[in-house]
Amino acid sequence: MRAPTGQDIAADELLLSVDDVSLSFGGVKAVTGVSFDIRKGEIRAIIGPNGAGKTSMLNVINGFYHPQRGKITFKGKTRSRMRPYEAARGGIARTFQNVALFKGMTALDNIMAGRALKMRRGFFCQMLWLGPALAEEVEHRRRVEEIIDFLKIQHIRKTPVGKLPYGLQKRVELGRALAMEPDLLLLDEPMAGMNLEEKEDMSRYILDLNNHFGTTIALIEHDMGVVMDLSDRVLVLDHGIKIADGAPAEVQADARVIDAYLGVSH
């Protein structure tokens, strides 16, 4: 979580641009000809009725699915297919609808795992432990504790995540994504299954991340209130096609969007 430096792409430049991407699974068209972009430093919401292709879109950005057509340009580099770990190395972090935590590990270990890309010490150093490996472990532990403080999960850091309630699991998953210090953070329904208080907490975290640390965020969300409050721009998908793209107020008033949610066929 560092403030943008002069070396990075200037604010308001495009961080990610999706160019005419189409994805289908053996006959089922998940996404058809979608193009949009994400500016550096903004909060972008992706909304749409169920089955609209939102998660598939994130999966394409992330590298899980390879589109049959189209290109993705991230930080100036264009590619049409890459593996998820390449996306991670490039600076994209991700959370999932069904929390994808490592159930056999504690919350602390899960978040420490997020530092995997930044830890370098080799096998022999690790076997020895004392010396460089320990120093590296302590240094990254320090950073992870900052994240734990930020998310207020100190009390559960040594708890195996399988034992945590759903809301806390989602927070740990967010922590793990943050530990990667990503340029682009993809959140897939971060508020799903939460009560009002938890949603307010999560909203505050997302806003803080964006305001204080400049993290660019793309999120899929169903709660319209959250979307309107948090996002700078909204992309609306329906049946895999883009039907609206703009500021929250515009999109909310768009007739096609209203139709899509009400189920009016078009």
Partner 1 sequence: MLYREVGQFKTSYQSDEAIFPIAQDRWFVIALILFAFLGVPLFAGQYLYTELLIPVLILSIAAIGLNILTGYCGQLSLGSGGFMAVGAYAAYNLALRLPETNIVLVFLLAGLMAMLVGLLFGLPSLRIKGFYLAVATLAAQFFLEWAFARVKWFTNYAPSGSVAVGRIELFGFPIDSPGKTYIFVLAFTIVLALAAKNLVRGRIGRMWMAIRDMDIAAEIIGIRPLHAKLSAFAVSSFYIGVAGALWGFLRLGSWEPLAFDVNRSFQVLFMIIIGGLGTILGSFLGAAFIVLVPIFLNQLPSRLGVPLSTAAISNIEFMLFGATIIFFLIVEPRGLARLWAIAKEKLRLWPFPY
Partner 2 sequence: MLGPVIETLIGGLLTGVLYALVALGFVLIFKASGVFNFAQGAMVLFAALSLARLSEFMPLLLALALSIAIMIALAYAIELLVLRHLINQEGIILFMATLGIAYFLEGFGQTLWGSDIYKIDLGLPTNPIFLFETVFPGGILVDPAELIAAIICAVLVLVLALFFQFTRMGRALRAVADDHQAAQSVGIPLGQIWLMVWAVAGLVALVAGMMWGTKLGVQFSLSLVALKALPVLILGGFTSIPGAIVGGLIIGAGEKLAEVLLAPVLIRTFDLAGGGIENWFAYVLALLFLLVRPQGLFGERIIERV
Q: Which does 141 bind (CB under 5 to 8 A by kind): partner 2, partner 1, none?
A: partner 1
Which of 36, 96 has the CB closer to partner 2?
A: 96
The tally of CA atoms less than 13 A away on the side-chain side of residue 129 is 0
Q: Which does 176 bind (CB under 5 to 8 A by kind): partner 1, partner 2, none?
A: partner 1
Could you tell me the two tokens for 17? 């641009």
59 binds partner 2 (CB under 8 A): yes
Please give the radius of gyration of the chain, using alpha carbons only, rounded to the nearest integer. 19
102 binds partner 2 (CB under 8 A): no
126 binds partner 1 (CB under 8 A): yes
Least separation in angstroms between CB 117 and partner 2: 20
Using CA atoms of 106, 112, 116, 117 in order, give the dihedral in degrees to the nearest 10: 150
215 binds partner 1 (CB under 8 A): no
* Interface pattern 78-117 for partner 1 (x via CB under 8 A): -----xxx-xxx---xx-x---xxxxxx---x--xxxxxx
Least separation in angstroms between CB 26 and partner 2: 9
Q: Do the beta carbons of residue 109 and residue 160 sit within 8 Å?
A: no
Least separation in angstroms between CB 101 and partner 2: 14
Least separation in angstroms between CB 66 and partner 1: 14
CA 213 to chain centre: 15
Those residues with Cβ within 8 angstroms of residue 74's Cβ, 6 or more apart along the chain or in another chain: 15, 16, 61, 87, 90, 91, 92, 184
What is the rounded CA–CA span in Å between residue 90 and residue 237?
26
Q: For 228-254, b where at least 16 C-beta lie within 10 A, e where not — what string? A: eebbebbbbbbbbbbbbbeebeebbeb
- Contacts with partner 1 by CB under 8 A lie at 62, 64, 83-85, 87-89, 93-94, 96, 100-105, 109, 112-117, 119, 121, 123, 126-129, 133-134, 136-138, 141-142, 145, 176, 180
- Contacts with partner 2 by CB under 8 A lie at 25, 55, 59, 64, 96, 100
